Chains A and B, each alone.
Chain A
Amino acid sequence: MTDLATEAGPAGRSARSGSAEGEETGPVLAADGRPLKQSLRRALRAEKLRALALIAPLLIFILVTFIAPIADMLFRSVENEIVSETLPRTTVALEQWDHTSGEMPGDDVLAAFTYDLVAAAERKQHTRLGTRLNYEMTGISSLFRKTGRRVDDFGEVYLDQFVALTPAWEEPATWMSLMAEPGWSAQYEEWLADRAAAEEADRDFETPQPLFEVKDGVADVLPETADAYGEFARIAQVENDDNPAAEEPWAPVYLALYRDLAQATPDSVATLGADAQALLEPARAAVAGFDTVPLSEMFVDAEEDWADPDVWATIQAFAPDYTAGYFLASVDLQKTPDGVSAQPEDQRIYMLLFKRTLFMSLVIMGSCVLLGYPIAYLLSNLPLRTSNLLLILVLLPFWTSLLVRTSAWKVLLQQQGVINDVLVWIGLVADDGRLVMINNQFGTIVAMTHILLPFMILPLYSVMKTIPPSYVRAAKSLGATNWTAFWRVYFPQSVPGIGAGCILVFILSIGYYITPELVGGTTGTFISNRIAYHISSSLNWGLAAALGTILLAVVLILYWAYDKLVGIDNVSLG
């Protein structure tokens, strides 16, 4: 840079040159008086910025429409927030539970689970969670669905006894005055009035409602009750658009009250003020004498399977926000509380599918080499005019719609199809012994070889075109037979083309979906068909994402190899 700047010294300066005086002359200046170095750097920066500005729109477009979806898929393959979002209290309470004990968790966990489940059932999220956990342990789905219908009765036994003691416990207003923050009540009244006024005047009303707040201090004395009632009040507001001040709380709220009061002391109750004390103190004194039903009995009464500690162990194992469970399932393993173990024998299908995908892709790749090599050799050794004409026979299938080619094979390979007809006509096959060539591996391999063959021929052809024919002639003139000249001289030079074509065909075939779906039947399907099945039929998106991530990793590794071998820039399009 400095040399260049010195040589390009501006004309206006005295013509002193040479390195000796270079230090005294100071920096060489551009026409506008700035140092030339700085000027050049500025020009270079401007050029870079201009190039980036031209690329930026497309880059942003691809990042949003393509890279973000791929990133989303990667994220979904480990994401597992549904358990801790739907059962926040249970996941915390279960942390301490020892799954090897062989028994159901204790009352604390079960109480937390009751509050979570009743809230989830009100929000209609318990079936979603059941479906999620059902992937890990069959039967959980119906367990959640059935118990979700009954869980709002849990604690009814306490409700009845509280009401028998003081009828006011049945009144929504009693609960409001006990639990609600006065400031919130005032805000909520105001909001209700505003909304009524807006409805009266036929205006749109968009102001969000103030969400229920628990009175200060209540949570210290009655922690579970405050939590459960707060949840109840907010769900009444948000899900049902009801005024919590007019709604009777769920039975599990009374369960919480019972559990809290059993722990409370007269002193702690007294901190809530005289009114609350008048209501709570008799109840507190009475709870010791209440009839009780253990929570475990309530659950087992609702559904026997809750007694199975494995159910709880499964919830515990999948409590974290991120899980490797989907990836383990993708390779026929499963996550259990005791660590990783193999799936039951009859559910191991993914390794088989991965192996089949790899095996069939290799067979397709091999047949493409076998069929493509002679064609590429022929094309590159014919006069240009003839080879261009024959090249059209290769390019036409390349340009023809994939579905056209797949339907052609479907038509040809059927039992009543053209090939079987011809075979029967020439007498090779009896009319009642028509060959089964479709809906199996054979059909998939034939159709996909046909579809991917141009992707083998084109790179091979472009490599073979560059091999000088004089090499083979030289070999022959030195006494090599035709075969030796080909095998020792020509073939090694065509190997890069084979490599490029093989990787291209292999990458394309392991991700193929349409053709195996249409002609593969049950034995000729690929891993991609399973991914599609999990997205659209079984709705196990996490597993689909994990399978897709594994497939993507394989493809990227191969692509990296392709880049090393041929370079991305040399991708040619016929």
Chain B
Amino acid sequence: MDLPPYATTGQRIWHYGFKVICGLIFFFLIAPIMVIIPLSFNAENFFTFTPGMLAFESDAYSLKHYRDFFTNPDWQQALSNSVKIAPMATILSVSLGTLAAVGLSQDHVPFRRAIMAILISPMIVPLIISAAGMYFFYSRIGLQGTYMGVVLAHAALGIPFVIITVTATLVGFDRSLTRASASLGADPVKTFFRVQMPLILPGVISGGLFAFITSFDEVVVVLFVGSANQQTLPWQMFTGLREQISPTILAVATILVAISIALLATVEILRRRSERLRGMSPG
């Protein structure tokens, strides 16, 4: 993208103009997320910068919205529900999904395309339709409004991500390793846990992280399948935004942004490690 020394003025203008345009688009992408971080330390119950904040006066900033989040029973209940639901859903989708991904990566799988289409479908179908169908069906079988129902629904939504990431990792898996292990007398279970699993672990973990974030961020399905007892953090934010918009939401949002940064970093590190293990350059 370097400008050649013989570039004309027009080309120069276009070159820098393009960079400015790209800068503005990046600003559009990042600024909305970044702007809520300082706003969450607002000492007032406003959603905009007070004159004091712009003058960097220390008493214009406070942690009161964070204090509210950590003391308000509604938010704490929502947090604990989220923490109870997301890991269970993740465990379910990772264990079943990894097993199936191993099966799908075998040489001879009958109806592979049809099976793949069914397993990926929760990602394709719009959430509102999944939510509607689950609401109808789960109320028929008595799962609507139960913890179990929400966990099962979230596990189903997370499965496509596990399948996609783990099958992608298995593409680079050297099958002769399992044969070597079998020839040395290991049974298939032992081979799986001692040989295959350590090698595909990065894929499994990033699939699990995707499944976790899917459940942790999910609001449409839980709104319909859950009841007041399963009110999760995103649900609480949703009602907060719709009814009485309180600045505590910004504090929660900031905490969630921090969590996403941590998750993004983990996935990125795992991806590079997995590519290094497979002998590919990180890219």
Residues of A within 8 A of B (CB): 44, 47-48, 50-55, 57-59, 61-63, 65-73, 76, 371, 374-375, 378, 381-382, 384, 388, 390, 392-397, 399-412, 414, 416-418, 421, 450, 453-454, 482, 507-508, 510-514, 517-518, 528, 531-532, 535-536, 541, 544-545, 548, 551-552, 555-556, 559, 568-569, 571, 573-574
Contact = CB atoms under 8 A, between A and B. Distances in A.
A410 B245 contact: yes
B227 to A, nearest CB: 12
B109 A51 contact: yes
B52 to A, nearest CB: 14
17 contacts: A44-B108, A52-B110, A58-B96, A58-B99, A62-B121, A70-B133, A72-B137, A403-B217, A405-B32, A407-B241, A414-B48, A508-B126, A544-B132, A545-B136, A548-B129, A571-B120, A573-B164
B102 A54 contact: yes
Nearest to B252: A404
B199 interface: no
Nearest to B136: A72
A535 B120 contact: no
Contacts of B234: 401-403
A47 B253 contact: no
B126 A552 contact: yes
A394 B29 contact: yes
B118 A536 contact: no
B62 to A, nearest CB: 18
A396 B261 contact: yes
Interface string B98-138: 01101110111110000111111111111111111111111
Contacts of A405: 32-33
Interface in B252-283: 253, 256-257, 260-261, 263-264, 267-268, 283
A75 B118 CA distance: 19
A528 B134 CA distance: 15
Contact of B96 (A61, A71, A381, A512): A61
Contacts of A48: 108-110
B63 to A, nearest CB: 19
Contacts of B210: 573
B18 interface: yes
A392 B264 contact: yes
Interface of B: 1, 11, 14, 18-19, 21-22, 25-26, 28-30, 32-33, 35-36, 39, 46-49, 92, 96-97, 99-100, 102-104, 106-110, 115-138, 140, 152-153, 155-156, 159, 161, 164-165, 167, 210, 213, 216-217, 219-220, 224, 234, 237-238, 241-242, 245, 249-250, 253, 256-257, 260-261, 263-264, 267-268, 283
Contacts of A518: 238, 241-242
A569 B109 CA distance: 15
A59 B47 contact: no
A445 to B, nearest CB: 13
Contacts of A61: 92, 96, 155-156, 159
A399 B35 contact: no
B97 to A, nearest CB: 6
A171 B266 CA distance: 81
Contacts, number: 269
A405 B109 CA distance: 41
Given A54-B99, A69-B137, A545-B136, A551 B159 contact: no
B123 to A, nearest CB: 8
Contact of B264 (A59, A71, A395, A535): A395
A511 B126 contact: yes
B208 to A, nearest CB: 13
Across the A-B interface, the 4 shortest Cβ-Cβ residue pairs? A511-B126, A54-B103, A69-B133, A69-B137
Contacts of B18: 374, 378
A548 B46 CA distance: 39
A378 B102 CA distance: 38
Given A51-B109, A58-B159, A401 B260 contact: yes
Nearest to A558: B124
A289 to B, nearest CB: 54
Contacts of B118: 59, 62-63, 67
Contacts of B156: 61-62, 65-66
A12 B28 CA distance: 75
B242 A517 contact: yes
A569 B117 CA distance: 10
Nearest to B105: A51
Nearest to A382: B1
B90 to A, nearest CB: 14
A411 B132 contact: no
B128 A393 contact: no
B136 A541 contact: yes
B133 A404 contact: no
A466 B251 CA distance: 42
A401 B253 contact: yes
Contact of B121 (A66, A399, A417): A66
A571 B164 contact: yes
Nearest to A544: B132
B241 A399 contact: no
B25 A528 contact: no
A403 to B, nearest CB: 5
Given A70-B133, A378-B22, A555-B124, 14 more contacts: A59-B118, A66-B130, A68-B137, A69-B133, A374-B25, A396-B260, A399-B260, A403-B238, A417-B47, A507-B126, A518-B238, A528-B126, A528-B128, A548-B129
B47 A371 contact: no
A400 B130 contact: no
